[in-house]
Amino acid sequence: MNRRLVHLCRAAVRPVLALGVAVLLLSPAAPLAAQDDDPARERWVFKGELTSVITQGNSEAVTLGLASTIRRRYEDSAWKFEAGAVRVETGKVIRRADGTAADFSVTRSVDTEKTAESFYARGRYERTVSDAFFLYGGVDWLRNTFSGIDSRTLFAAGGGYTWVENDRTRFSTDFAATYTFETDVVENPFLDTDFAGLRVGYEFTRQVSASTDFESVLVGDLNLNETDDRRAVWGNSLTVDVNDIIALKPAVVLSWKNLPALAEVPLFTGGVDTGTSVQTPLEKLDTLFTLALVLTF
């Protein structure tokens, strides 16, 4: 179990570290020495999130989640990079008794199965045009094989409007034209894998108290090649500060897709396995709840 945990940690950490290194290498070379001369510019901000649940004994399960956010805001522009991974392994405890009813010994083994796994990385650049209007461009990448997505890369370019922005509240909406390259675990012959689309969304943040912030983000996408292919991701979270560096963050994310990916399932006839499989749609809605430890630098 300990060896599996080490392997899981390494597997989850590698993509996040790789993206962090790429961000540092590929980010625009803003003059760091000039930051002290321009008080209107903020410093680089890094946030790391760790979610971990480990169960051992009569049942065994390991849940690991890592996420990181790197952002930099200038006087009239901003960069933001995010990456994360979630992996869940569940073990079925199997016990076997050897000997007689009066004298036996029990052996214990664990049959481990990966039951959830997803990875994501995204970057976004914003440029302020006026006091409220901004333009932005971004790229998103996602892999979630349990939802049928082997790889999805989306490019977006558009604009947005900031309706409210003060010391406690910020609310903005945005829209964009997109182009998506998608590879599913099970190919759907009726849907194009590359397609143009439209994206709309909002971002809302509110300082609930001196130590608590609420954040709500909605992103909706439409496939222009097949208008029934619509999807949305709605995330809500509370960040409760423990001190200037450490915070706790409960969050819930709902991911909905009107035309979900397909899965191949074995076909039984009269309770007998026919040795063939059929394709069936997966569930339209996925729900993810996390409680993360957040470190801010």
How much is the pLDDT for 41?
A: 45
How much is the pLDDT for 69?
A: 94
How much is the pLDDT for 111?
A: 87
Q: Does residue 143 lie in a domain region?
A: yes
The last residue of a domain, from among 80, 112, 144: 112
Q: Does residue 136 lie in a domain region?
A: yes
The pTM of this model reads 0.80
How much is the pLDDT for 42?
A: 58
How much is the pLDDT for 297?
A: 83
Q: Does residue 91 lie in a domain region?
A: yes
How much is the pLDDT for 118?
A: 94
How much is the pLDDT for 27?
A: 40
> Which residue reads 């406690």 in tokens?
168
How much is the pLDDT for 17?
A: 41
The verdict on 152 and 242 lying in the same domain is yes
Rounded Cα distance between 54 and 126, Å, is: 39
The verdict on 144 and 61 lying in the same domain is no
How much is the pLDDT for 16?
A: 39
- Residue 244 CB coordination number (10 Å): 7
Q: Does residue 7 lie in a domain region?
A: yes
How much is the pLDDT for 36?
A: 42
Q: What domain range is 195 assigned to?
A: 129-297
The verdict on 85 and 150 lying in the same domain is no
How much is the pLDDT for 20?
A: 42
List the pLDDT tens digit at each of the 297 positions of the chain.
445 444 444 444 444 344 444 433 334 443 333 334 444 445 789 999 999 888 877 778 888 999 999 999 888 899 999 999 999 999 888 888 888 888 889 898 888 888 889 999 999 999 999 989 999 999 999 999 999 999 999 999 999 999 999 999 999 999 999 999 999 999 988 889 999 999 999 999 999 999 999 999 999 999 999 999 999 999 999 999 999 899 999 999 999 999 999 999 999 998 888 999 999 999 999 999 999 999 988
Q: How many domains does the chain have?
A: 2
Q: Does residue 124 lie in a domain region?
A: no
The last residue of a domain, from among 55, 85, 112: 112
Q: Does residue 117 lie in a domain region?
A: no
The verdict on 147 and 294 lying in the same domain is yes
